[in-house]
Structure 1
């Protein structure tokens, strides 16, 4: 069996989810299943419409933390590959924020690995998030549901 590959990136600029997934898929022809999750800036209407989202991070912790998460994910499931891309900086509605993809011989490992990685990124990440609406900027904290999701693991 080939070694498990992982690609973990922290980006200050945009990326193409389509291109990233095409490259990831092509690199794992042995996988019976590839599961992906794309998180993007919401576009909601009304008075609370998000005009921009900003993610800040502490460089000395963020990428090493993401790499540790990738290692923990690969240790729990039988994977052929794992991709974790996360943006920081100012983004606008429709912009991709995070892309996680897991390739495995069997779908359940791929689904579980992607879910695990996303739950940890959402609740235990090394990012500070704020959004801008017509009322101005406000900081966003993880929700109770995010903590419940993380507690499953």
Structure 2
């Protein structure tokens, strides 16, 4: 039997982030979890829609990410919207702190996945798009779709 290596399966993805922001750079960070949070994440009960990362002192935290309480848990279940600490090396933290403090830049969670049994979050250093940029992106995507459709029809 041959064993196939699985890619890190994405548990949750913030699709709207790529629509609302220009992602300049991505970085992987670990998440400090409590109690049954990892079980909820493995079940896929996580929502990144309104989430963002920010610095408190010299540490990085994840805000507004909703991890639903584990149904089979007990009275010690976690608060769904609690602030969670992110784990990065000091050098990466210092670099991100400098980049994220520039005007118009923010850190946005793009996706959450399990890597070697540990929950990781992919953060994107993002700059907000204007409304006309969003329309331009949609127009470009639609043109690519039309080109692919025409090529498919031509060679079939």
TM-score (norm 1): 0.28
The structure with the larger Rg is 2
